[in-house]
């Protein structure tokens, strides 16, 4: 596996959230992590990204042990977390936020080139390049968050509910762009999402989390063939 977590145990203080979960991503693969609120999905992404340390378990990326490495080091190595909600500076313009996302890049010309790449995927951001990020619509804000994650040219993107609260058409547009990004750059994507139809349309595989444990692992074909009652019993 390109990115692999084994036996992760983690939580908040005395509350244990993850109970020994194992999952992995191949290069260029889109994998969805599903489960009800409180199942441990966001915690999983935070631990992999380096925002939260596990109490036990292993994480390897491209053959290198990254468990307990901080998020800054993981960003430099190409692992980018896009959290749910606002992941930008409200008072700065779209383009200023994109420039800040390239803080690890020394060349201004490279940053400019990558911003143009973001505008290619999200033309509306180019139209709004001088507009304050906090004044964008909900869909545009999500596009900006994903666009900022693209500036360091991620090898792995960890996306926490990127379409939450968006109208269906906007959600579909954003997901199609994520698929395009994964294909063009061979970027692996671990996607937290609640929609079975989205999993079936964009993902290669899926995991279902329930009370901090993996209760399902398989390809989208397995999900599609599963009886509805059996599927919902997993949540």
- pLDDT for 62-73, tens place per residue? 999 999 899 999
Evaluate whether residue 215 is within a structural domain: yes
Handedness of CA 179, 22, 65, 46 (dihedral sign): positive
Q: Would residue 220 count as lying in a domain? A: yes
Mean pLDDT score of the chain = 94
What is the per-residue pLDDT across 79-121, written as a single tens digit (0 to 9) for each? 999 998 788 999 999 999 999 999 889 899 999 999 999 999 9
Whether residue 16 is found in the same domain as residue 128: no
Q: How far apart are CA 79 and CA 156, in angstroms?
A: 5
Q: Assess if residue 60 is contained within a domain.
A: yes
d(CA 30, CA 183): 10
Enclosing domain of residue 106? 86-153
User: What's the pTM?
Assistant: 0.94
Give the C-alpha separation, 201 to 208, whole Å. 17
Q: Verify that 195 and 223 share a domain, yes or no.
A: yes
55 and 163 in a single domain? The answer is: yes
- Are 23 and 122 members of one domain? no
**pLDDT category of residue 9 using cuts at 50, 70 and 90:** very high
Dihedral of CA atoms 191, 193, 198, 201 in degrees, nearest 10, equals: 20
Helix axes 108-121, 138-150, angle to 10 degrees: 140
pLDDT at 13: 86
Q: Does any domain span residue 39? A: yes
Write the pLDDT tens digit of every residue in 155-198.
999 999 999 888 888 899 999 999 999 999 999 999 999 888 88
Which tens digits make up the pLDDT trace of 41-57? Answer: 999 999 999 999 999 99
């Amino acid at each position: 596996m390109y990115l692999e977590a084994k036996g992760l145990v983690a939580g908040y203080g005395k509350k244990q959230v993850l109970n020994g979960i194992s999952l992995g991503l191949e290069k260029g693969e889109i994998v969805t992590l599903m489960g009800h609120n409180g199942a441990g999905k966001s915690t999983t992404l935070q631990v992999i990204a380096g925002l939260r340390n596990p109490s036990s378990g292993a994480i390897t990326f491209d053959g290198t042990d990254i468990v307990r490495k901080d998020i800054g080091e993981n960003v430099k190595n190409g692992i980018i977390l896009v959290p749910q909600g606002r992941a930008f500076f409200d008072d700065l313009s779209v383009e200023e936020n994109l420039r800040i996302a390239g803080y690890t890049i020394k060349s201004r010309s490279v940053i400019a080139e990558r911003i143009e790449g973001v505008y290619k995927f999200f033309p509306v951001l180019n139209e709004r390049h001088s507009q304050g990020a906090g004044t964008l619509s909900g869909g545009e804000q999500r596009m900006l968050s994903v666009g900022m994650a693209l500036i360091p040219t991620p090898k792995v993107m960890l996306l926490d509910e990127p379409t939450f609260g968006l109208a269906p058409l906007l959600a579909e547009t954003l997901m199609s762009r994520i698929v395009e990004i994964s294909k063009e750059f061979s970027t692996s994507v671990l996607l937290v999402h609640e929609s079975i139809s989205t999993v079936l349309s964009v993902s290669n595989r899926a995991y279902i989390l329930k009370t901090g444990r993996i209760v399902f692992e398989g390809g989208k074909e397995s999900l599609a063939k599963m009886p509805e009652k059996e599927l919902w019993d997993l949540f």
